[in-house]
Amino acid sequence: MLKKKQRLSRADFTNLLKKGKRLHSPYFSLLYMGAQETKCGLVVGKKIAKKATMRNKVRRQIYAIFGENLTVLSKVHCALLTRPNITSLTYFELKMEIEKLIKNLK
């Protein structure tokens, strides 16, 4: 889990939605823009899974991956918007997909 100061606030998130750039993959979209410090956010909606336990599992896994790659994400605000077919991925497939998107940021 990321520390509170490393997570996007509501104001940062709405600013990112309005002004950020987007990268897409079959499983999610990544919004990003340059910033003073690195912050990450995540959206896992009810379309992903009806049960909150499954959505929370996906959320925990993605935040863990963000935590591992925080040094690569230097001075950027980013938010990951998940898509419904993400529940079919294993942790390692999820990690590979996110790292592939992070490499495309530069």
- Cβ contact 6:39 at 8 Å: yes
Range of the domain at 53: 4-103
Q: What is the CATH number of the domain that holds 48?
A: 3.30.230.10
At 38-94, the pLDDT tens digits run 999 999 999 999 999 999 999 999 999 998 988 888 889 999 999 999 999 999 999
Q: What is the pLDDT of residue 104?
A: 87
Q: How confident is the model at residue 106 (pLDDT cuts 50, 70, 90)?
A: low
Q: What is the pLDDT of residues 7-26, one digit of tens each?
A: 999 999 999 999 999 999 99
Cβ distance 67 to 2 under 8 Å? yes
Strand residue runs (E) in 9-98: 21-24, 28-34, 39-43, 76-82
Contact assessment for residue 96 and residue 82, using Cβ atoms and an 8 Å cutoff: no
Number of domains in the chain: 1
Does the pLDDT at position 95 exceed 90?
yes
Q: How far is the C-alpha of 64 from the C-alpha of 2, rounded, in Å?
A: 8
CA 26/CA 78 separation, integer angstroms: 18
Report the C-alpha gap between 31 and 40 in whole angstroms: 10
Task: State pTM to two decimals.
Answer: 0.87
Rounded to an integer, the average pLDDT of 84-105 is: 92
